[in-house]
Chain A
């Protein structure tokens, strides 16, 4: 009986990949948007398994709570939901499937070739304090730059969507 940890990993990985499959291969873009929820939640589980609790909760808040809702809003505002066929995957999928199959086998073969440097797994330590210290000492510049980028992006998004007042 393999350890419970590994079974949980298999379950979460299956949920993530199945949802990603629905996102990719679903005919209806609305179903794909809802399946993004499953993918991001699976990613939350994977982050928790990788002992990165702060990133997991941030992912939950921002991706599941923010970006999924944003994407669903955009789908419902811009697609003609009343029609039966909402989105087409018809562009080049005869070429894309073999090509990407090759690409995936190439990636998976890369995984086996290299000898990855793997250290001992350490005991779980909450990452909140190390992240907080690093953000304010060693990684201060990226932190500030990313804040400015976020501000600029939000202001820019509002400016783009603004209607001209005549």
Chain B
């Protein structure tokens, strides 16, 4: 178990430590997306997932000779996450104007 996490009794931080942190972060984000009813809460889960992927890529780049591709991936991911957050929140505000709630269970107009 210690070998998996990369933190045996004498603490040594390896690639596995960073991967463990991002795996837990990813699971938290996934839990957020699955269970939340609030639409903004779901968006927060997506941001956690994207952050976990970012840190993952940079960790791999760091432990493989400091390549630039990992950092570039994270930069593009940050830009895309920002644009996606803007559009998602615009949609949420629109939905709130229409339905006066952003509960994901109540914003349903499909019948039958």
Interface residues of A (CB under 8 A from B): 2, 5-7, 9-10, 13, 16-17, 20-21, 23-24, 29, 32-33, 36, 39-40, 43, 46-47, 50-52, 54-55, 58-59, 62-63, 66-67, 70-71, 73-75, 77-79, 86-93, 96-97, 100, 103-104, 107-109, 111-112, 116-119, 121-122, 125, 127, 130-131, 134-135, 139, 142, 146, 149-150, 152-154, 156-158, 160-161
Nearest CB on A from B96, distance (A): 4
How far apart sit A157 and B90, CA to CA, in the bound complex (Å)?
A: 5
A78, B72: Cβ atoms under 8 Å?
no
What are 17 contact pairs spanning A and B, CB under 8 A? A9-B17, A13-B21, A17-B25, A20-B28, A24-B48, A29-B40, A43-B54, A52-B58, A62-B79, A71-B89, A89-B37, A91-B37, A111-B5, A111-B16, A117-B64, A118-B15, A157-B89
Nearest CB on A from B35, distance (A): 5
Q: How many A-B residue pairs have CB under 8 A?
A: 236
How far apart sit A43 and B94, CA to CA, in the bound complex (Å)?
A: 31
A50, B59: Cβ atoms under 8 Å?
yes
**B8-26 toward A: CB 8 Å interface, digit per residue (1/0)?**
0011111111111101111
**B34-50 toward A: CB 8 Å interface, digit per residue (1/0)?**
11111111011101100
Nearest CB on B from A30, distance (A): 10
